[in-house]
Amino acid sequence: MAACDARYKFLWVDVGCIGYLPNTNVVAPFWFIADEAFSLKQHILHLYSGCNLNDSKRIFNYRLLRAHRTIENSFGILVARWRIFQSKLPGVPTTAESYILAAVTQHNFIMALCQPEPSRYCPENFVDHEKNGMLVPGEWRNNVGRLPHTDLGRLKSNNPAKMSEIMRNTVADFLIKEGRVHVAV
């Protein structure tokens, strides 16, 4: 598992305290965004399922998908640029771990070095983006087959604990009210 920032650099942050949703007194712990392969838990959020979702749930799903796309693009850039990850890694697990850590470190260094200008390492169209309200897949997808984590399917029961469901609903309500995105017309 990994955490990344909005500029596709990999991070790992140890959050020592609980925060709040912006401009509210609603307690908001940190979350990892996951797909339905993971059960909904205190620190794991995933999409609402179903077709007949209310506005709050649809907006929540849209915003969560955008955030999920960021980590998927981070892995896509890494795999496309470090082709060693497009097949089984050689060596023992500790060697594989060293390859991964070295590539992530170099990836982050190159991404930081090239910001804010697009570069040959990660040009503007290399990642997924929206154009006229439509999703345009990033060019990394042409260089990489399906990423292994995209074919997990359903691995566990998806019956969320009551508190996790309440927190997801609270975030969904926040995104349609105080946290809504204002679009200039």
Q: What pLDDT, in 10s, does the model give residues 124-152? A: 889 998 888 888 999 998 887 655 444 43
Q: Is the dihedral of CA 110, 111, 112, 113 positive or negative?
A: positive
Q: What is the pLDDT, as a whole number, of residue 136?
A: 92
Would you state the structure tokens that stand for residue 159, as one six-digit string? 């019956």
Q: Is 26 helix (H, G, I), strand (E, B) or coil?
A: coil
Residue 153: per-residue pLDDT: 41
Of 63, 12, 68, 59, nearest to 36 by C-alpha is: 68
Task: Reduce the DSSP state of residue 136 to 3 states and report it.
Answer: strand
pLDDT (tens digit per residue) in 21-69: 666 776 666 778 877 778 888 778 888 888 899 989 998 888 888 888 8
Confidence of residue 154 (pLDDT cuts 50, 70, 90): very low
Question: Domain residues of the chain, as ranges?
Answer: 3-176
Read off the tokens for 158. 């998806």
Pairing mode, if any, of strands 10-11 and 3-4? antiparallel
Give me the amino acid identity at 6.
A
Which pLDDT does position 10 carry in this prediction? 72
Q: What's the pLDDT at 137? A: 92
pLDDT digits (tens, 9 = 90+) for 58-114: 988 888 888 888 888 988 898 898 888 888 777 777 777 788 888 888 988 998 887
CA 97 – CA 9 distance, rounded (Å): 18
Chain centroid, CA 167 distance in Å: 19
Is pLDDT above 60 for 15? no
Which segments within the chain are labelled E, that is strand? Answer: 3-4, 10-11, 19-20, 27-28, 32-33, 44-45, 129-131, 134-136
Q: What's the pLDDT at 150?
A: 43
Rounded average pLDDT over 111-126: 82
Predicted confidence (pLDDT) at residue 156 exceeds the cutoff of 60: no
Q: Supply the pLDDT for residue 138.
A: 92
Per-residue pLDDT, 148 = 47
